[in-house]
Amino acid sequence: MNLARLHMMIALFRWDGWPNAAEWQAFWAFVTATIALVAAIIALRQYRISVNSRLEQARPFVVVDFRFLGALYACIDVSNAGQTAARNIRFEWSERPIALDERSQEALDRAMVDGSIPFLAPGRKISYMLNRYDDDQNPTDLPRRFEVKAIYDGPAGESWDSESVLDVDQWAATLVERDRYADVTSQLKKLVAAAHNQKEADEALTRAADSINVHLEAGFRVQTARQRMQEEREARWKTQEERSARLFGASASEPQVDASTDAEESAG
């Protein structure tokens, strides 16, 4: 009765063209499916962003930069500032770098021009001598600006690249100060190494002295034992000689007594 009255009230207040219950159900089902689809798309996008972010954070990142020694000599530092190792690092140069001498040029060509760097662990750095950039003694045709692109592989086979600009004029008339703390640290390391080596040398000398002392004591004991054995042998020989002398002396005196007796008897 109540249900019939409810249907009558719905029919009474229903306008023409207003959706019926089945149509409303289909509409809300469509809205629900649309919201679920949009939520799935947003979640998939967030997942892809998260994955790309993790890959970006875990990627190797090769940096090529200048390093100056005493404001005259320029070195090329190749460092891996990323979180994973870089493999098969190749380089593309806008200008071919010219090194200071033939040996440095061969090393630079082998690793950064004609060849590649096979492996560079995260946080590690490798350096190559470039040239001396002194305006008074520097050749005029020496390149002073380089654009280099490093191409390398990640641990999962992905390929990455990074670009650097090396401009000597950027560093012209700038102050290249020595790191005093680094100098102090270096000197302290040398002192520690020297002290450690001195300690090892002292320990080696102590062991050698102990060994020599042992050998000397052993030799003294052996010599003393030999001397004692020799003295005992000589004492035995002396005792035996004295005994033999007494025996031979007694045997020699007995015949003389007998001979004198015989002579006395014959005289009588």
Rounded-to-5 percentages of helix, strand, coil across the chain: 55, 20, 25
pLDDT band at 125 (very low <50, low <70, confident <90, very high): very high
Indicate whether 121 and 75 sit together in one domain.
yes
66 is a domain residue: yes
255 is a domain residue: no
Residues 90, 116 contacting (CB under 8 angstroms)? yes
Indicate whether 79 and 37 sit together in one domain.
no
How would DSSP label each residue in 159-207?
EEEEEEEEETGGGTT------HHHHHHHHHHHHHHHHHHHHHHHHHHHH
Indicate whether 84 and 52 sit together in one domain.
no
Evaluate if residue 238 carries a pLDDT over 90. Answer: no
102-124 residue pLDDT tens: 999 999 999 999 999 999 999 99
1 is a domain residue: no
4 is a domain residue: no
Positive or negative, the Cα torsion across 227, 230, 231, 232? Answer: positive
Sheet of 159-167: strand order equals: 117-120, 86-93, 145-153, 159-167
Indicate whether 149 and 207 sit together in one domain.
no
pLDDT (0 to 100) of residue 267: 41
172 is a domain residue: yes
Sheet of 73-80: strand order equals: 62-69, 73-80, 125-132
Indicate whether 69 and 52 sit together in one domain.
no
Indicate whether 51 and 72 sit together in one domain.
no
The neighbour count for residue 203, using CB atoms within 10 Å, is 10
Indicate whether 67 and 172 sit together in one domain.
yes
Indicate whether 73 and 40 sit together in one domain.
no
52-68 core/surface letters (b: 16 or more CB in 10 A; e: else): eeeeeeebbbbebebee
pLDDT (0 to 100) of residue 185: 64
Residues 36, 98 contacting (CB under 8 angstroms)? no
* Averaged pLDDT score across all residues of the chain: 77
pLDDT (0 to 100) of residue 70: 67
pLDDT (0 to 100) of residue 14: 57
Looking at the structure of the chain, the number of domains it has is 3
195-223 residue pLDDT tens: 777 777 777 777 777 777 666 666 667 67
pLDDT band at 79 (very low <50, low <70, confident <90, very high): very high
42 is a domain residue: yes
170-204 residue pLDDT tens: 887 665 555 555 556 666 777 777 777 777 777 77
The whole domain housing 154 covers: 62-177
Indicate whether 122 and 219 sit together in one domain.
no
The residue from 116, 143, 177 where one domain ends is 177
pLDDT (0 to 100) of residue 217: 67
Indicate whether 120 and 73 sit together in one domain.
yes
Amino acid at the residue 182: A
Evaluate if residue 257 carries a pLDDT over 60. Answer: no
Indicate whether 76 and 32 sit together in one domain.
no
Positive or negative, the Cα torsion across 135, 139, 144, 149? Answer: negative
The encoded tokens of residue 225 equal 């034992």
69 is a domain residue: yes
pLDDT (0 to 100) of residue 190: 74
To which residue do tokens 């001979």 refer? 259
Indicate whether 76 and 36 sit together in one domain.
no
153 is a domain residue: yes
11-55 residue pLDDT tens: 555 555 566 667 667 777 888 888 888 888 888 887 777 666 666
CATH number of the domain to which 81 belongs: 2.60.40
pLDDT band at 260 (very low <50, low <70, confident <90, very high): very low
The residue from 177, 208, 237 where one domain ends is 177
Kindly state the average pLDDT of the residues 73-85.
91
